[in-house]
Homo-oligomer: A and B are copies of this chain.
Amino acid sequence: MKLKLTPVPGSIVAPQGFLAAGVFCDIKRLGTGKGSNKGKKRDLTLIVSQTEATVAGMFTTNQICAAPVKVCVPRVAKGIAQAIVVNSGNANACTGRQGMRDALAMTAATEQALGIAPGRALVGSTGRIGVLLPLKNVQTGIHAAAKQLGTTPTHADQAAEAIMTSDSRSKQIAVEFLLSGKKVRLGGICKGAGMIQPGMSDTGARPAAVPAGLHATMLCFITTDAAIEAAVLQTALREAVAHSFNRITVDGDMSTNDTVLVMANGQAGNRLIRQTKKSSATTAPFKCFQAALQHVCLELARMIVRDGEGVHRVVTVRVSGAQSAADADAAARAVANSSLVKTSWHGGDPNWGRIIDALGYSPAVVVEDRVDIGYSTPGSRRVAWSLRRGQPTRTPFATLWKAVQPQEFDLHIRLNLGRGEALMYAADLTEKYVDFNKGTLADPSQAASLGG
C-alpha cells in the first residue's frame, strides 16, 4: 500500500457534496470571556452534506461535559448525520436542563432550516462556561447560515473563522487520495488555543483506568466523500485521535466540550469500506483511509498547539524505552505539563535538571543512571545529547543552547528500561499566557458571567 496525499483547497467543502457557511449572530458580546466580540466576528457555523452521511465522533472524557456533547453522543452512536451546527462565544456547559433544551433547539432549528430528517443534525459549542445561550440570536443565525451555504473556499474560510474563540488564526486542511481507483477527499477545520489537553473517547465515558495526565476546548469537524460504514469510520477516528488530538497539550486542562466529528457521504463512489469477518483494520482501503484521516487530524492538532494561548515554542516530547506504553505516556505528559520545564523552553534554556525531575515524579518507572535526554531539530536525525545514562555529556553548551532556540524542536527522552514509546506535542509557558488568562476585570460590575 502506498498512500499519496495531495493537498487541495477548500477544507470541509473540498469533498463532494458538502456545503458550509459561517455567520455573525451576536453571541460573543453577551459573554465577558475569551473571544469577546468587539468587531462583529462570525460566531455560528453550519456544515451540511447534500445527502445523509455516516458519522463518527470522539468526545471529552471530562465528567463535567457540556450539553452539546450530551446531545451528540447518542446521535453519533446511530451512525447517520447530515449537518453540524456550531457556535462560538458560549460553551453551553454547566447550564443544566435549559442548556440541554437549548442544544436540542439548535439541532431542531438546523433540521428545520435545512429540511433534513429529525435527529440528523449534530451540535458543538465553545466559549464561556455557565452562561445560557442567547437562543433567539442563535436561531436567527442558523436560518441566516442555511441561506448562505456554499461550496467555495470562502465559505470554508468563514465556517472555520466562526468556530474561533481565542484562536489567532483559523485552522483548515484538505487532502485528496485514491481509494479503489476513485479520487477521495478529506477536509477538516478545527479550533483550539486554551484549556487544551484533550482526552477523548467514543462516548465520552472514561476508560477503566484514567491515564494520570489526561486533562482545551478543541473542536474539530471533518468531512469526506469516502464511502465507509459508520462502525469502521469510528474505528478509524478512534485511532486517528489517539495519535493526534489526544497527544497535544497547551496548558494541561481538559475541556468540558472537546469534540471531533467526521461525516462521510460516500459521494466519491469508492467501493464501500465495511466491517469484514477478519478485522477491517487489515484491509488496504481501510488502511489508506485511516492513514489519510490520521494525517488530517495530526496536522490540525499541531496547528492548535502552534496557535495555543501565548505559545512561543512548540516541543515534540519523544519518550522511548519505557517499561510500558502507559509508562511512556505518563512520562511524556509529566514533562509536557511541568511548569518549570515549560518556562525553561520559553527561555530557550536546554535545562535537563527540570526534565529528569519531572520524569522522577511521574508515575512511570524511571532509573536515574539509565536516562538519556537530547534535542534535535524536527526532521533531523542528529540528536544533541545533554544527558547519557544519567550523566551530563561533553556536548558543548553552545550546541545544546542552539538546539532549543528554534520555534519548534524535538526533545528526546530514552528511559532504557523497555520498549514503551509515546510522544506529546507540547507548548512552552509564557508571560503572555498568564496575562491573557488572568482575565482581570476592569469593571467587575459589568460582568455578565462567571464561567469558563
Contact = CB atoms under 8 A, between A and B. Distances in A.
Interface string A344-370: 101111111110111111010111110
A259 B429 CA distance: 28
Contact of A452 (B351, B431, B435): B351
A195 B343 CA distance: 12
A94 B360 CA distance: 11
Interface string A81-119: 000000000010110100000000000000000000000
A64 B433 contact: no
Nearest to A437: B343
Interface residues of A, number: 78
A135 to B, nearest CB: 17
A450 B307 CA distance: 29
Interface stretch (A260-268, A294-302, A314-322, A384-392): A384-392
A339 interface: yes
A353 B129 contact: yes
B343 A433 contact: yes
Nearest to A337: B252
A229 B445 CA distance: 59
A235 B237 CA distance: 53
A379 interface: no
A349 B439 contact: yes
Given A358-B253, A369-B96, A397-B445, A363 B431 contact: no
Given A392-B130, A438-B347, A340 B447 contact: no
Contacts of A397: 444-445, 447, 450
Nearest to A213: B212
A251 interface: yes
A250 to B, nearest CB: 9
Nearest to A197: B361
Nearest to A368: B64
Nearest to A97: B369
A94 B390 contact: yes
Q: Which of A348, A366, A390, A444 has the most CB of B within 10 A?
A: A444
Contacts of A439: 343-344, 347, 349, 351
**What 4 A-B pairs come out closest when comparing CB atoms?**
A129-B353, A347-B438, A64-B360, A353-B451
6 contacts: A62-B360, A253-B339, A254-B360, A349-B440, A398-B444, A401-B447
Given A62-B360, A253-B339, 18 more contacts: A63-B359, A63-B366, A64-B357, A93-B353, A94-B353, A94-B392, A195-B340, A254-B361, A339-B339, A348-B440, A349-B440, A351-B439, A352-B451, A386-B450, A392-B451, A398-B444, A401-B444, A430-B434
